[in-house]
Amino acid sequence: MPPREQTATDLVQGTLHMLILRTLALEPMHGYGIGVRLEQVSQGVFKVNAGSLFPALVRLERSGWVAAEWRTTENNRRAKYYALTPDGRAALKREQRDWEKQTEAISRILKTSLDQLA
Amino acid sequence: MKASLGRFINGLRALARRRRRDEDLDHELQSYLESAIEANMAAGMSRADATRAARLAMGSLDAVKTDTRAAGWESMLETSGQDLRYSARLLRRSPGFTAAAVLTLGLGIGGTTAAFSVVDALFVRGPEGVTNPGTLRRLYVKRNEGTSARSPYGISNIWADAELIRKDGSAFADVAAYRVPEPVDLGRGESAARVRASVVSERYFPLLGIRPAAGRLFLPEDERVLGARPVAVISDALWQSQFARASEAIGREILINGRPLQIVGVAARGFLGIDADPVGVWIPSAMAFALGLEDTEGDWRVRNDVITDSSLIARLAPGTSEVAAASQTNTVLSHAAHAELDQTPEVSIQPISLAGYPLDTRTTNLALWTALAACLVLLIACANVANLLLARTVTRRRELAMRLSLGAGTSRIARQHLTESAVLGLLGCGVGLAIAAWAMDMMREFPIPPDATRIDARVLGVSLAITALTSVLFGVLPASRASRLDPMAGLKNAQAIGDMRRTRMSRTLVAIQVSLSFALLVGAGLFVRSLDRIAAVRSGVAWNRLLVISTNIGPDRYGTLPRQEFFALAQTRLAAMPGIEHVSTTTTPPFGNRYSSGPYDIEGVKQIGRHSGASLNYVGPDYFETIGTRIVRGRAILATDTPDAEPVAVVSESMAAEMAPYGDPIGMCVNMYEGPCSRVVGIAETQRDHLLFERGRPMLFRAQAQAPHQISHGVPTILARTNGAPESHQAAIRAALQGLRTDLPYVSVEPMAERLRSTRLPFRLGASIFSAFGVLALALAGVGLYGLLGYFVAERTAEIGVRRALGAPSESVVALVTRQSLLPVVIGVVAGLAVAFVGSRYLGSMLFGVEPRDAVSFVGAGLFLVFTALIATLAPAFRATRIDPIVALRQD
C-alpha cells in the first residue's frame, strides 16, 4: 500500500520526502535537526512542522530508505537519529533526477509563454 | 516491489510491538520539544516563554501522534480492530436484534450451504478419481417403437450399441458399457459379506482414465470368450478391508457369488465407480454369465432382446459437439440391425454425475430448482437483515450524528457499518454451518454418497463466500444510508416526521421479501401435493411391510442340506417366526428390472396384434397375500397347483385389458416360452413397479411348482410380510437362515422400501427441499414482516397521538395503520404471483398429478402470507390505539 500523500504546508506536494533524504545525505540527524536544517537552507521559505515531519519520517523508514537509531545529542540528551540507507541514496538520486527534469520542463514552458506574451 | 514488501514487514513489526512503538514516538516527540525549547532559550527567551513558543509551533501533540501513526498501512488494521470492538459492543448491547439477524442469516446461509453441497456432490463434482470428467458423457439409447416407448430404456442392448458406436469411432473418442453396480456375495459362510460388483467392458477403465493402484486392470483378452478368464479388479477400499493393502492380494482368489475369481489388480485409490453406490469389485463382461449375474442363455452382450440394467458412457472427441455426436450415433445405430423390430433409436447425451442413474431431466431440473430455491431464501434473509439494520440506523441516528459532527469521516462511518455487517455475517455463518450440518445429516436418508453430506473445505469455502456476498448485500444499503445522514437534522429530533426515504426503501424490501416467499411457498405447495398424489397411487404392492430375502445358493454345492429342502425349510422357519404374517416365493421380486419379458399368445386366437408382450413371473402359493396384491376376479395361485394338476396362471389387470378384445380372459389358455399353455384362473391388481408413471406392465404369473425344472428347482427369492416395521426382523431372519447351512453364501434380507427409494427420490427430495425452504421463507418473512410493520407503527406514534388527540376514533387509526402497512404486502403478493405463475410452468415436468398452476397451492400461499402480515400489523396497530396522546406528543 503506498503511503497516503499528505499536504505539507508551504511545500510542493511530494517534495518533502526528497528534501528530507537530501538533508540526511550529508549526515544523520534527529527530527528537530532536520526541520531546522530545512528552514535554514531554504532561508526560511520552508517551515516544516512536526505534524508533517514525523509522518514523513515514518513512511521513509517503512520504505527502508532511512534507518533510525537512538543516540545521545551534543547536549547530552537522547534523540532518534535518522540516517540514509543505500536504498534511500538510490531513491534520492532517482527523485532528484526526476525533479530536475520536471522543473526544467516547467520553467521552459513558463518561459515560452512569457516570451510570447511579451 | 522490494520497498513495498519492506513496508509490509515493517508494518507487521510495528503492529506486533505497538506499545513500544507508541513509547518510542512519545520519547521522540518529547525530545523534539526539548530541542525546540533549547533553541528558543538560546535565542534569548525565558524558559517559560521558550516552552510556550515551542508548544505553539508544534501544535496538538495528540494530532501529531495520530497523523504519524496513520502513516503506516497497519493503522488501517488498527481502526478495523476498533470498528470490530465497537461493533461487538453494539451487538452485545441489543441482543434481540443480534439474535434475530444472526438466526436469519444462519438459516439463509445454512440452507444455501447444504443445498450447494448436495447439488455439488450429485451433479457438479464428477465422480472421484475420474480424469477430466468434463468431457465424459452418459448416453441413453431409447428405441421408439411405433408411437410409444415401452419403457424408458426401450428394448435394446446397450452392450451391442456400445460396440457399434465404438467401432464406428466418428462420434466419440471412446465408448464403454457397464452394468449398474449390483450386490454380490463375497466369500461364504459366517464371514460372507455383500459388496457391489459392476460388470464392465474392457474400455471402462481406460475411458475413465483410471490407473491401477496395484497389479493391472482389464485387457481385451479378458472379455473375449465367455467364462474363459475368471479375473476381477477390486477397489482400493476392499483391498484395505480384506487384505490390509498387502501386495500378495494380487493373484489371490476371491469368491464372488461362490465362484472363484483371481484378483489381477486394484483400481486407483478413491475410485468407487461412477454411480451413487460404491463398487467393490469390477468383473469383465465375459464373466457375468458364469457368475449368475445375467442368466440369459448365450452371449447376452450381443442379443438384442435382453434388457440389462446397464449404462453407456463415452468420452467426447475433441472438437465434436454433443449435437453432432448424438446425430452421428443415431445414424450408426439406425443403420445397424433391428430393422425387423421397426425401432428408431434416439440417443440423448448427458453429463456424468453421481446422481446419474437413471438421470432424467426431472432429477437435473430438481438440482437447478434446489439451487434457485436456496438463493431465494438467502435473498429473503438478506432483505430481512438489511431492513433490520435500516431500522436500527434510525434509532442510532443521534449517535451517528454525534460522531459525524465530532469529525468522523463518512467513509469511517460506512466502514464501521460494514464491519458490523461482517461481524453479523460471520456469526450467521457459524450458525449456518451448524444448520447445514444438521440438514445434511437429514439428507443421509437419500441415496447420496456419504462424502456429499460432510462439511469439507470446499463446502466451508463456499459458505464463507456466500457469507461475504451476503454481508455486502445486506450491509451496503444501510451503511451508505448512515454515512449520508445530515448531522444537523440528526441532532435535532426529526423522528416524528419519519424518514420518508427509509420508509420507502423498507417497504420495497418488504414487497420483495413477500414476493420471493410467495414463489417459494407455491413451489412447496406443488411438490407436497405431488407427493400426496404419489402416496395415493396404489402400487399394488404392500411395499412398506415386505422383506425380500435372497441368497445365491449355487446348484453345484449340496452340502448338508439340498437346495430344494433348504428353501422349503427356510419358508417353514420364517412362517413360524413371530411377527411374520405371510411367506412366499417369486422368481422376480417387484421393483426390480430383471423380468424376463417376451411375446405371448392365446390358445385358439390367431392374431392378437403387435402389442403383445408380457413379463413372466413364477410365484409360490400365498404370493398375492404376501405381497398385498388384490385378486380382482377368480382365484390366486394355490398350494394345490402342483406339477400334476393343470398348469394355471394369473394375469394382471393390465394384461387382462390386452386380452379382453378376445373374450373373458379367465378360462383362456396362454402360451409363453416353453411348456404347455396355462389356464388363466384369476386376475390380479396391476403392480405398478419401476416408474410410477407407467401404466403398469402386463404380467403373467405362473405357479412355480408347475414351472420347467430349472425354475421349479431353481433359486427363488423369498418374500416375507411382517406385521410391523420390517427392519426389526432383518437380523433375526438372516441369523436363522444362515444357520440352516454352514456353507451358505450371504443371505440378503432387504426391506422392499429400499428398492422403491430411487423411484420416489425426485419427489421426496423436491418436496422436502421446497417444503423446508418454503417454511424457512415463511418464517423469515413472518419475522421480517412482524418486525418491520411493528416498526412502521412505532415510527408514527407521535402522529397517531395527534390524531387521537384531535378525536380520531380507534377504528380509523387501526384502519389507517393496517392499510399503509399491508400495501407492500399486497404488492409483494401480486409480484410473487407473477413470478410463480411464470416459474411454475418450468416445474411442470417434475410434478405428479398436479397442474403447475394449481389453484390450491397459489391461493394457499397467498392466504398464508396475507394472514401472517395481518397478524404482524394488527398487534402493533391495536397497541397504537392505546397510546396516550399526551405521552405520544411529549416524546420530543
Q: Give residue-wise pLDDT tens across range B714-749.
A: 788 899 999 888 888 888 888 888 888 777 777 888
Position B212 confidence tier, pLDDT thresholds 50, 70, 90: very high
- Dmax (CA) for chain A in angstroms is 59
pLDDT at B266 over 90: yes
A59 near B CB under 8 A: yes
pLDDT at B494 over 50: no
From CA A19, how far away is CA B817, in angstroms rounded? 69
Query: Grid coordinates in use for B580?
Result: 411374520
Query: Grid coordinates in use for B319?
Result: 472438437
B11 near A CB under 8 A: yes
Q: N- to C-terminal Cα distance for chain B?
A: 58
Position B535 confidence tier, pLDDT thresholds 50, 70, 90: low
Sign of CA dihedral B7, B13, B17, B20: negative
DSSP string covering B295-338: --SS-TTT-SS----EEEEEEEPTT--HHHHHHHHHHHHHHSS-
**Averaged pLDDT score across all residues of chain B:** 78
pLDDT at B469 (0 to 100): 81
From CA B729, how far away is CA B390, in angstroms rounded? 59
Position B891 confidence tier, pLDDT thresholds 50, 70, 90: low
Query: Grid coordinates in use for A39?
Result: 528552514
Mean pLDDT score, B548-562: 69
pLDDT at B284 (0 to 100): 92
Q: Looking at the partner chain, which of A30, A31, A59 has a beta carbon nearest the beta carbon of B71?
A: A59
pLDDT at B195 over 80: yes
Report the length, in residues, of chain A: 118
A55 near B CB under 8 A: yes
Measure Cα distances from B650 to B88, B636, B639, B683, B883 in Å: 75, 7, 14, 6, 79
Burial of B753: CB neighbours in 10 Å, binned 0-12, 13-18, 19+: middle
| One-letter-per-residue 3-state SS of B332-351 | HHHHCCCHHHCEEEEEEEEE
From CA B839, how far away is CA B833, in angstroms rounded? 10
Tell me which of B109-118, B353-362, B482-491, B664-673 is least confident: B353-362
Rank B185-189, B339-343, B534-538 by mean pLDDT and report only the highest.
Answer: B185-189
**Sequence-distant (≥ 6) Cβ neighbours of residue B516 within 8 angstroms:** B376, B379, B380, B383, B777, B832, B835
From CA B734, how far away is CA B347, in angstroms rounded? 43
Among B677, B561, B682, smallest CA distance to B621 is for B682
pLDDT at B528 (0 to 100): 77
Query: Grid coordinates in use for A89?
Result: 541514496
CB A63 to CB B59 under 8 A? no
Integer-rounded Cα radius of gyration of chain B: 37
B32 near A CB under 8 A: yes
* Angle, CA of B353, B359 and B363, to the nearest 5°: 95
pLDDT at B879 (0 to 100): 74
Mean pLDDT score, B320-343: 73
**Sequence-distant (≥ 6) Cβ neighbours of residue B722 within 8 angstroms:** B545, B546, B547, B579, B580, B581, B728, B729
A63 near B CB under 8 A: yes
pLDDT at A82 (0 to 100): 92
pLDDT at B633 (0 to 100): 92
Residue A60: closest C-alpha in chain B: B7
Is the pLDDT higher at B535 or at B837? B837
Identify the DSSP state of B185: E
pLDDT at B705 (0 to 100): 87
Query: Grid coordinates in use for B277?
Result: 453406490
Which tens digit of pLDDT belongs to each residue from B676-702?
Answer: 889 999 999 888 764 444 567 788 999
Q: Looking at the partner chain, which of B7, B24, B28 has a beta carbon nearest the beta carbon of A62?
A: B7
DSSP-assigned beta bridge partners for residue B434: none
Identify the DSSP state of B152: T
CB B266 within 8 A of CB B243: no
Residues of B in contact with A80 (CB under 8 A): 24, 27-28, 31
B890 near A CB under 8 A: no
CB A32 to CB B10 under 8 A? no
From CA B69, how far away is CA B19, in angstroms rounded? 12
pLDDT at B232 (0 to 100): 93
CB B765 within 8 A of CB B534: no
CB A77 to CB B4 under 8 A? no
